[in-house]
Structure 1
Amino acid sequence: MRRISRRAALGYGAVTTAAALTACGAQPEAGPAPTTTTASTPPPTTTTTPPPTTTTTHAGGPAVEVVRGSGARPEVALTFHGAGSLDITRRVLALLDQHHAKVTVFAVGSWVRDVPDAIRAVRDHGHELGNHTWSHPDLERFAPGPMLGEIERCRDALSTVAGTPGNYFRQSQGQHATQRELEAAGKAGYARVLSYDVDSLDWTDPGAAAIRRATAAAKAGSVVSMHLGHEGTIAALPGILADFATRGLTPVTTTELLR
């Protein structure tokens, strides 16, 4: 099954209504014709050294979907769908610093445009960035050209603001990538698309205890999906990180997990 139940919105905290609609609406800014083709508080002022900026040299063939790591080491990848207020981003980063955890943030392109300081903060705290489309639409409904445009526009915004296109792409509004999305990601220069095997369900705002229970399913090698922009995520995060530490699991960037 291709899709999991998901809201169109990521949750934008203090971001303006106009920005929220731009970043998380089910349709992009320029509405492409659907295709009928289907397919199978604040942080410290000091900064840490960010991970190496890498630009993919992918030749343009379909990207490869990665769902989890091998599990050979006691590590997990916490991945955040990136949108929300600068304040919430800073609070999440402060918690990650306190627990010496590294994560990958998949940024929505319009968030990169509207809250560039959040993107730079993620980078400067030593975390990894990825591409999560320009406007977070139901990407599989798009014709090939507009689908590629969603990925390339976010890629270019990340390159401008953070100096990197991101090491991975993640499809919007779907746990797993379709073949068409893999093809579009490859054309945009991404060799790998990162899906996930554990959904924290924080985007449903179920409360901190429920988010913590959902992430308890993570095992060595797991890729966990979480979201910036939600107060419940902030409330749950200390307990999640403590649970991982008790189980001997270290949160690392995706690149570290897959090395």
Structure 2
Amino acid sequence: MNDPLTRRRLLGMTLGAAALTACSAPGQNPAPAAGSAPATTSSGTTPSPSASPSSPRPLGPATELSRSTAGRPQVALTFHGAGDLQVTRQVLDLVHQHGARITVLAVGTWLAEHPDAARMVRDGGHELGNHTWSHPALSGYAAEPMYAEIQRCRDKLVELTGSPGGFFRQSQGQHATEQELVEAGKAGYAKVLSYDVDSLDWKDPGPAAIRAAVAKARAGSVVSMHLGHPGTVSALPGVLADLAKRGLSPVTASELLA
């Protein structure tokens, strides 16, 4: 076999076989060829990835935030996301007219019933967060069902927007318990958004009472409000006017807490 061309061909074949053996060594998977079909399991289904950009990796316990100490003349108006979608439209129209931006902590069942709500909030330049799937008295739950409430709403947000939102807020409680912080972290949330001012609009006390409650807000405050109450809509023009007179700008929670 003295033909140089033949020897070069045989050498190329030998090196090629060695390279394939190295790529397929135990503990390694060769990269699929371009255009090849995805790998399947023994049942014929395509395996799901263990993690994806839209599914946050578990973290340690979340950090609770209830106000900013930066000193900027800003407040965050945060709204419990539930109720009649027409009321949501009215709130979004009002904050748009006043140049305000808000944060909506959405209840998962509300998003499931009104999937357009997420788009409406985002299209207005506002932000969305997670307020559990069904808004239970969450602090009384055991760890597993507590996590399920957070996870299920997270997954609905990802489905509708591609993002789980930057914040989780516990339901039926101004401040998070230690267990709620742990389970929020497991679901991928680094921050739990509590609040230091409660508008009490969920009690339907009337526009004047809501306006007086929000007047307690100071620079850095996070205010709790609700989308599903017509009284909130009636109070909102006065609330926004009062904040403007005091030089306080309503911004998203992410901006306030940056």
- Relative to the length of structure 2, the TM-score reads 0.78
CA distance in 2, matches of 1:130, 1:162: 11
CA contact (8 A) 1:71 1:219 kept: no
Structure 1 residue 147, shift from structure 2 partner: 0.4
Is 2:234 the partner of 1:235?
Answer: yes
Any stretches of 5+ residues in structure 1 without a counterpart?
1-53
CA contact (8 A) 1:132 1:170 kept: yes
> What amino acid maps onto 1:202 in structure 2?
D
CA contact (8 A) 1:109 1:134 kept: yes
Structure 1 residue 55, shift from structure 2 partner: 6.1
Deviations 1:143-176 (CA, angstroms, capped at 9, x unpaired): 1111000000000001111221110000000000
CA contact (8 A) 1:101 1:251 kept: yes
CA distance in 2, matches of 1:69, 1:55: 28
> What amino acid maps onto 1:73 in structure 2?
R
CA distance in 2, matches of 1:182, 1:91: 33
> What amino acid maps onto 1:93 in structure 2?
L
CA contact (8 A) 2:67 2:221 kept: yes
CA contact (8 A) 2:64 2:176 kept: yes
2:196 corresponds to: 197
What percent of counterpart residues are identical?
65
2:170 corresponds to: 171
Structure 1 residue 57, shift from structure 2 partner: 5.6
Deviations 1:82-132 (CA, angstroms, capped at 9, x unpaired): 001111111110001100000000000000100111121001111010000
> What amino acid maps onto 1:132 in structure 2?
H
CA contact (8 A) 2:58 2:187 kept: no
2:106 corresponds to: 107
CA distance in 1, matches of 2:131, 2:92: 19
> What amino acid maps onto 1:174 in structure 2?
G
Structure with the bigger RCO (C-alpha within 8 Å, sep 6+) is 1
CA distance in 2, matches of 1:188, 1:63: 10
Structure 1 residue 60, shift from structure 2 partner: 1.5
Deviations 1:26-81 (CA, angstroms, capped at 9, x unpaired): xxxxxxxxxxxxxxxxxxxxxxxxxxxx9696651000000101141000000000
> What amino acid maps onto 2:94 in structure 1?
L
Runs of 4+ in 1 over 6 A off after TM superposition: none
- Relative to the length of structure 1, the TM-score reads 0.78
Give the structure with higher Rg (CA): 2
1:1-259, aligned counterparts within 5 Å? 59-259=58-258
SS in structure 2 of the partner of residue 237 of structure 1: helix
